Chains A and B, each alone.
Chain A
Amino acid sequence: MRGLPSAAMLLAVFTGSLALAQGDGRRSGYQDMGPALQKMQDDDTANPAMLFVQAGETLWNEKAGTAGKSCADCHNDAIVSMKGVAARYPAVAGETGKPVDLEGRINLCRATYQQAPALAPESDDLLALSTYVALQSRGQPVAPPNDLQLAALRAKGAGIYRQRQGQLNLSCANCHDDNPEKKLAGATIPQGHPTGYPIYRLEWQTLGSLKRRLRNCVVGLRAEPWPYDADEYLALESYLMERARGMAMDAPAVRP
């Protein structure tokens, strides 16, 4: 299959994550999984997320919208043009001057250049495309762009991250900063770095975005999740990517 890094790069990702963890104390969720799940993620012929990558590759080359263009018509081979892209999102879109995450960027492209309707949030097609693009950042360091608008967004995200919410009155920081590697009802609390997204989550029995995971957390706190197009997700995602700056991307990951 095209668009797949070599075994050497896979090894580099693993050892890269390990090195980073030992260096500055940050750990990817990959390191909190047992060897069986790590093996599931590492094997491109067994990782269920690769089914979405395959679908994404097909969509990448498919003409869409009234403009009758495919992603490939502008971006050619994703292996080249999309390398490192997912590691730089959320970013400010040139067309609107506003920050977008990767899924938002894909829909912006569809609307602007393909004249195609937006893909619904968490739809198979949108996930397939964002997974295919995210794969091209495998092994790349998380590198959020330096931009004043994004800095403001990150500060907002940092505030939300530390804000207690919901019936359980907990903030993200309470679990992921104060108690990582400890158990919450038998499940290991990860540090919460978004290096693997979109992930095949065993709990969902399918692949999903970072936004879905954030909603999942918020509902878990027994708080009302913000609507899908809310600014809060973008702010949190921006903050989390900044928090993970320099860590190796391992998308599309498998997580429990």
Chain B
Amino acid sequence: MTPRRPERSEAKSRDLFVHRQKMGPSAALGATVGRRSFLAGAITVVPFAAHATPDALAAAVKEVTGGSPVHEGKVKLDIPPLVENGNAVPLTVKVDSPMTPDDHVKAIHVFNEKNPQPHVFNAWLSPANGRALVSTRIKLADSQKVVAIAETSTGEFWSAHTDVIVTIAACVEDVT
């Protein structure tokens, strides 16, 4: 047991409030975890089942492109580089396209690298949209790469990707 300190409001707490490297997953349910690792924020409820991996991401992309080449460009992926909470990350995908019947974005596909599954969303568009633009809010389980691929009416695939750092709430709420 830590000895009790004198109750002075100006007493500085120990130097525990420094930024720490994110530790590996720790059992959030029922395990005995030391005080330091709580403060280090290692409260990630990471499922013990499969994670998406870079291979799963590549496979998911291939499912959409059918193996056609994907060019980097034309797509702008707007997502905060540092996220305060992975539960709702605002994301906007914009594609540079005239959106005419002859040349428009048919679909936008977004994928992730480290969530339990690699898909984020698929959106289908047409010249009726006027602009190739989709905004939504997504969940990111960990710091990872997010990839957006635009499929055009001329059969081309354009993409953009961003690396996002996801931080989490420091204190767990025991939902019982």
Mark A residues whose CB is within 8 Å of B: 33-37, 39-40, 48, 162-164, 167-170, 173-175, 177-179, 182-189, 202-205, 215-217, 219-222, 256
**Contact A205:B167 (CB < 8 A) given known A168-B38, A173-B9:** no
Residues in chain B near residue A35, CB distance under 8 A: 80
Q: Hey, what's the 0/1 contact readout for B31-74 against A, CB within 8 Å counting as 1?
A: 00001001111100000000000000000000000000000000
- Docked complex: B8-32 residues within 8 A CB-CB of A: 9, 12-13, 17-20, 22
Of the candidate stretches B82-90, B95-103, B106-114, B154-162, the one touching chain A is B82-90
Pairwise interchain contact A203-B87, C-beta atoms closer than 8 A = yes
Name which of A162, A216, A217, A220 has the most chain B CB atoms within 10 A of its CB: A220
CB of B134 within 8 Å of the partner chain:
no
Closest 7 CB pairs of A and B: A185-B41, A220-B171, A186-B167, A256-B84, A202-B85, A256-B85, A184-B170
- A–B complex contacts, Cβ < 8 Å, 6 sampled: A48-B88, A183-B17, A187-B168, A215-B173, A216-B171, A256-B169
Give B134 Cβ to nearest chain A Cβ, in Å: 14
Mark B residues whose CB is within 8 Å of A: 2, 4-5, 7, 9, 12-13, 17-20, 22, 35, 38-42, 80, 82-85, 87-90, 137, 167-174
Q: Please measure, in the bound complex, the distance between the C-alpha atom of A222 and the C-alpha atom of B36, giving whole angstroms.
A: 13
Pairwise interchain contact A184-B82, C-beta atoms closer than 8 A = no
Residues in chain A near residue B80, CB distance under 8 A: 34-36
Residues in chain B near residue A203, CB distance under 8 A: 85, 87, 168-169, 173
Residues in chain B near residue A183, CB distance under 8 A: 17-19
Pairwise interchain contact B172-A219, C-beta atoms closer than 8 A = yes
| Option from A33, A34, A170, A256 in Cβ contact (under 8 Å) with B13 | A170
| Option from A162, A179, A187 in Cβ contact (under 8 Å) with B84 | A187
Q: Please measure, in the bound complex, the distance between the C-alpha atom of A188 and the C-alpha atom of B41, giving whole angstroms.
A: 12
Pairwise interchain contact B84-A34, C-beta atoms closer than 8 A = yes
Give B172 Cβ to nearest chain A Cβ, in Å: 6
**Contact A185:B90 (CB < 8 A) given known A178-B13, A216-B171, A220-B170:** no
Residues in chain A near residue B18, CB distance under 8 A: 182-183
| Option from B9, B40, B168 in Cβ contact (under 8 Å) with A162 | B9
Residues in chain B near residue A34, CB distance under 8 A: 80, 82-84
Residues in chain B near residue A175, CB distance under 8 A: 13, 17
Give B167 Cβ to nearest chain A Cβ, in Å: 3
Residues in chain A near residue B42, CB distance under 8 A: 185
Pairwise interchain contact A168-B35, C-beta atoms closer than 8 A = yes
Give B2 Cβ to nearest chain A Cβ, in Å: 6
Residues in chain B near residue A184, CB distance under 8 A: 17, 39, 41, 170
**Contact A37:B84 (CB < 8 A) given known A177-B9, A219-B173:** yes
Q: Please measure, in the bound complex, the distance between the C-alpha atom of A43 and the C-alpha atom of B172, giving whole angstroms.
A: 29
Pairwise interchain contact B7-A164, C-beta atoms closer than 8 A = yes
Pairwise interchain contact B20-A169, C-beta atoms closer than 8 A = no
